[in-house]
């Protein structure tokens, strides 16, 4: 019985494949919004939990992995861009600067077993030109990533 990945992220599915972990992808459709009082780590952990929890009733006998990533720069949380203009804004903000990437995972198992963990990585982003940013946006690769 494979693990269920409650995410549409091709990168997360690739990580599981590379680790030789059998998995089935079934994205959960929860709104990825911050609630009042959410700190960045709490937001990422809550969303990871909600993504896994959204599939638990449907698959009560399987292990489900939910995950979420947020980017923080100047105490501002960057989620996935709404559109190309939002991606341009985010990438300009990150250009030539150091920021934090917070990723949380939640593993739910039969009997409502739960394991939630998070990790923060400090990332220094190279300075990029508007032309480079626009080329990247045209590729479409930035639209499903926190912080573009």
Give the residue numbers annotated as catalytic, written as ranges: 68
For residue 123, what are the β-bridge partners? 99
The Cα–Cα gap between 66 and 6 comes to 5
The full DSSP string for 30-83 is ----PPTT--HHHHHHHHHHHHHHHHHTTSTTS-EEEEEEEEEETTEEE-S-SS
Q: How far is CA 104 from CA 32, 42, 80, 117, 136, in A?
A: 13, 9, 15, 6, 26
Instruction: Classify each residue of 37-66 as buried b or exposed e, where b means 16 or more C-beta atoms within 10 Å of its C-beta.
Output: ebebbebbbbbbbbbbbbbbeebeebbbbb
């Amino acid at each position: 019985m494979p693990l269920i990945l409650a995410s549409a992220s091709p990168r997360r599915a690739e990580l599981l494949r590379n680790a030789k972990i059998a998995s089935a992808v079934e994205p959960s459709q929860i709104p990825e919004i911050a609630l009042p009082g959410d700190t960045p780590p709490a937001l990422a952990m809550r969303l990871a939990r909600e993504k896994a929890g959204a599939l638990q009733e449907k698959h009560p006998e399987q292990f489900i992995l939910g995950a979420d990533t947020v980017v923080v720069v100047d105490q501002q949380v960057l989620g996935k861009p709404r559109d190309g203009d939002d991606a341009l804004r985010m990438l300009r903000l990150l250009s030539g600067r150091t920021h934090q990437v917070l990723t949380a995972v939640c593993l739910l198992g039969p009997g409502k077993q739960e394991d939630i963990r998070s990790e923060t990585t400090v990332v220094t982003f190279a300075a990029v030109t508007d032309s480079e940013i626009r080329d990247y946006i045209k590729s479409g690769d930035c639209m499903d990533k926190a912080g573009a």
